[in-house]
Amino acid sequence: MKAAVLENKGVLTYTDVPTPEPGPGHVRLRIKAISICGSDIKRYVDGHRMYPLILGHENSGVIDRVGKDVSESYLGKHAAIIPLVPCFKCEECQRGYYSACHDYSFIGSRQSGGYAEFVDLPEKNALILPDDVPFERAALIEPSTVARHMLALGDFKRGQTAVVLGAGSIGLMIVQWLRILGASQIIVTDVLEENLQIASKIGAHVTLNPLKVDVIKEVQKILGDGADLTLEATGVPQVLEQTLPITRPRGRVVLAGNQPLDKSLPLTFIENMMRREISLIGCFMSYSAPFPGHEWTETVAALLNGGLDMDALISHRFPLSKAPEVFKKIGAHQLAHQKIILSPQETA
């Protein structure tokens, strides 16, 4: 089969690789739609722990083969990939904290992913979907679950106010979940006007561009002491520092942006957090018990009832064969984009 393989830092090739056969307890998905994740771009630009690797964990397709001990009733079913493969045995898995599993794998990071015609995955990692969910929308289920998980961690309640820092794909998914779950005020910040326009279209009440206005002052003008919940989805240190002054005392801040590991925070940040009794909450992936969690079932329900607008987030579509060029352009900052969908070539 054809696949886009990360061969080294900054080296992605479209090439022939062996077609996987599903092992016992596994199914094989014939990939129909692939969405490029920011983490895939990071693996390409900054390098990854292992090579060669078929990237890709935001995928949908049709189950075309099943391994031993798997019901044939799966054949022909549409599914999206649930990328985390926990051990289901360790202390954290027993608690239902699957993303903290002591011995996990991850499709598209620690094992072959979906930038390919086919992917082999455990039966439990196939999220079975109704046939009428378009494949492109199904490929965007995973990033939506991360946003839903952030709101669960932040204990978001209907009627609360929120600030979303960053209107990339996770930020825009957060905006939609805030709208669906009934936020009274949704403020979104981003340096790109295009992103803010999409945010407005899908539910933001106010958008702020930090290149044009003082975000802290503007949020305080609108929300007084700050938001009930602040969601950080940029991974930019200066933005992280803004989270406390825009959050009300006893409010919550949920962090999902991956920060550069060679930077540090002044301890005034912690002092500010203590004085205002703000809860700082980390978010990693999107899982809860029973696996994969309510984040996934709620996302599928919101897709089916039209609550989640995935189409507004898709900016480009390319065949998978163009992945090397697409990544080169993204790496060189020559392709301003939201979600990019890749499609494997149809072969018989």
Positions touching Zn ion (CB under 5 A) are: 37, 86-87, 90, 93, 101
Q: How far is the CB of 103 from Zn ion (least distance, A)?
A: 6
Contact 99, 284 (CB under 8 A): yes
Contact 70, 27 (CB under 8 A): yes
Q: How far is the CB of 87 from Zn ion (least distance, A)?
A: 4
Extract the runs of DSSP E, i.e. beta strands, from 114-246: 118-122, 126-129, 161-165, 185-189, 206-208, 227-232
> From CA 348, how far away is CA 144, in angstroms rounded?
32
Q: Helical H runs in 19-117?
A: 38-46, 91-95
Question: Phi-psi category of 293—alpha, beta or left, where left has phi over 0 and alpha has psi -120 to 50?
Answer: left
Beta partners for 119? 29
Q: Which is nearer to Zn ion, 87 or 270 (CB)?
A: 87
Strands of the sheet containing 53-54, edge to edge, are 11-16, 2-8, 53-54
Q: Which is nearer to Zn ion, 37 or 139 (CB)?
A: 37
> From CA 200, how far away is CA 87, in angstroms rounded?
41
Q: How far is the CB of 40 from Zn ion (least distance, A)?
A: 7
> From CA 42, how far away is CA 26, in angstroms rounded?
29
> From CA 199, how far away is CA 208, in angstroms rounded?
11
Contact 146, 283 (CB under 8 A): yes
> From CA 29, how far away is CA 107, in angstroms rounded?
13
Which amino acid, 102? H
